[in-house]
Chain A
Amino acid sequence: MNCEVCHLKELEVEHYEIREVLRCILHTIIFHRALGLVRPKEIDLELFEITYVQCGDEEVEKKIDEKIDQFIGWAEKHPNKKSQICLSFFEVKNKQVSWFGKQMERLFWEHWYISLNVAQQPKVHSLKSHNNKVVDTGENILEERSIRRASLEASLRDVLFQIIRFVNDKKEHVPPIPNREGFISFPYEIAIPSSSDSAFGMDMFKRMLQTGHPTMLSSD
């Protein structure tokens, strides 16, 4: 089974924007992989004029929020770093014994890499601040912030379309829909830098083995 990888366009976000941005992206991806009977739930972002769709499953929502919380915690400890979140879909094979001693093997068939560049604080533009008074600087900051927000919104929109395009272009690798009651989404995992090093590292390691190209995650 081939494994498709999608690297989403990097987004520059401020810390307080992480949650919404990640929710939007993760839910959008999972909605496309939730091929069970779903009742879509549309959510308006608060920070951006964007509406995304959830698959309406509480478990999914809960899991995503947990991961986001973890990531935010991690981001607080590692300010001003680029980071990646990886959403991976897999199939579970019981029969094969994994090399790592587990009974269940995960056969990944898709990886989504979400790249965030978290800016802890709005940048103060030294050039402008030199010449202007404090008030002006404040105004400039506000103005820049709104500009930045708008550009982030556009970028986020682009990312969503990137997801849609990818989903459209790559369909063959999606496994058959399990014909069981209660199936909502293909199994998935969300790997974040803050995850236990072993799990995350293992995933990275496996991915490297599979795809053959270096991970984009930077540990520094």
Chain B
Amino acid sequence: MATFHVLQEGPVNALALNRDNTQVAIGGRNVFKVYTIEEDKFREVCNLRASKHLNLSFSCNDVSWSWTDDHYLATAATNGHVCVWNLTKMGKAMQEQDYQEHKRTVNKVNFHASEPNRLISGSQDGTMRYFDIRAKNAVAIFYSNTESVRDVQFSPHNPYTFAAVSENGSVQLWDVRRSDKCQQQFAAHSGPIFACDWHPENTWLATASRDKTIKVWDLTSKLTLEYTIHTIASIGHVKWRPQRRFHIASCALVVDCSINIWDVRRPYIPYASFNEHKDTPSGVAWKEDPHVFLSSGRDSTLYQHSFDYASRPAKKANPQGVSLNNRGEILYAHKTNVSTLVKAPSVGIIRKTSTTQAPDLFHLASSLMHQFTLSTENKSESQIFIGLAKNYILSGRSLSEMCEHNSAVANQYGKNQISVVWKIMKTMYGEEYLQNNSNNNNNNREDVISHNNLPLNMGLDHNNDNDQRSRGGGDTPAAQFSDETENEDQVDHIAIYNNGFPTYLNIRTGLPKGDFSFGENELDMELDGIMTDFQSGYRNFVTPQQDFVLPNEAFHIRHEIRTRSPPPDKFPNNFPVLSDDQNMPFEEQPNNLLTVSCLPKMPLWDPSSIVLDALKHHAMLGDVQTAACVLIVLGEQRKCLSDLDESTQEHWLLGYIELLSRFQLWNIATQIIKLSWIPAVEQLNQQSTRFNTNCSKCSKALQRIGWLCDRCHSSQYAACSVCHQVVKGLYAWCQGCSHGGHLLHMKQWFAVNKMCPTGCRHLCEYK
């Protein structure tokens, strides 16, 4: 079934189908035509406005087609006339009757469904008139006692009953035989009611109003409001869908150009929408087939719509919602799976379900919501974050001390990796190291040059050592390394290492024995992992031909080891480099096996690039805490990280501050801002710091420093409410009544009282 339309000369106000749905009459201010509905188009049968004697009777608000005699049309004219047209006649004779009884516009006209020749009209003048089209005058007049009647509809269940709705929001039920008094009247809406429609089977009446609702009333014995549909705009027209008990079509009066079909049981979202009209639709007429209907619109069109082309707003609607919060909790709302809910009860009534091909589940939409919380046995990431943030020391001590402390803190929270990062920071930038190089921490290049000038403490032996170890750890062929030494830079580097290495060893030996609180193997793994991470960022040490990538191995084996304790005999296997290394002076420092084995690799590279890579690595994994904290602790040393542009530093700091404020760790956030060296971050503490004070007497803003009011020429209103002395210094005041005074006096006062000490009767809140 196709959707098609025909364009008219002007807006169409109403449409009416004939008894067997083959023809349609449309009426508007400048339109009055009859069309035959063909397979895929409308064919004009007759244009009633083709007459030479056009007058206002040809401008219709409404049109109705007789149910009993296919030749009769009735129209409601804007000038208050009700006209009856005989389609079998020609010319002027077509207009068989012209009732000029209504004083104002006629809004609605309707033929009786079973009584031939009977017709009812509802008008803006507040009356309804019952006509016999053979008679010259109305048979009966019904006074609604309201301002205006917008719609009248005969009941399909009782031939004598009709419903009338009016602009004051009330519904009246009348018996055509009794014009003195309505049978029933009730207030249905808070705004004007524009339309009503009787349900074809139930004793339901649907009313549509400007208050953006469609209400369905059950009129059986006791009046009940069955359903309320909330629409997005005032509704001008409603029509029940044939053969679908709960479906009703609606047209908006303004705003909404679509025709919506609602399931009254799901009153929030249309079951189907037809968006073909470019302006608001004015009427809907079903063709007795639930899938086809006609509509007229103020965009001067007449449409035939088919359900094949309906849009289903509910299907586009997102049925799920997910949200994560800073504590790692997950909120999940999702549509309940109704098909499983429905299956169970339908077992006993198989016949009923089998009659409909697919059970209509549209109205059974509902959602379930769950919050998933991390169970308490796992220390959540957020708790660790808070713990680290609270316990890190970022200033006030020497770099080594801070690193040492922070390393221990990280370790305490199970963050071994971060712990090691801090350790490395200590070894690379700690004071002991720096004392030897105190003159040269401005620039990397200068570093290198000045190192060259220093005497080489260690001889070639150690140079060899480094060479060997680089072979073992980084899996770099020695040949390649020696190639690189031809490079001037590399020579420089080796010079540094030779200088830095012994100092470094000194630090290690100076440490207490119980320093590493985790297992030796674990530390080894951690370091390896980090080292290899560094490698991947370091230009010369990862060759493209490498067979395997060490970082992966390093990190995954870590888990494997966790589950079982390593057998002691494995110990030497962990140091293949050492055991193979003939040049290593084991005997000299047997206690430092561990440290010697893995740490001398570090001086192989300029530490700044390694540190940078480490920090970037952490930042990328979302651990901006480590990146920002290390930067802060490094203090002036961060200038060594010349490759780290200020914008990245700013990004990390802002990221960390953002996270801290999410956890409401304001003090720590403020500390970070205070310790920061980037203007954009420092500024954060200088925003909104200004307080304007007003005189407590005349409310004039105090311009001067101090408490002298320019208007009152006195500072006595800055006096303490308790001791009546002018407060110098800290003035504590209630923001509610603006009274206050010395902090100590206020404290004492509110320890026993609740009200303001001035007697203004304000319940000051002082804590």
A, B assembled together: no
Which B residues lie at the A interface, using CB under 8 A?
none
Which A residues lie at the B interface, using CB under 8 A?
none
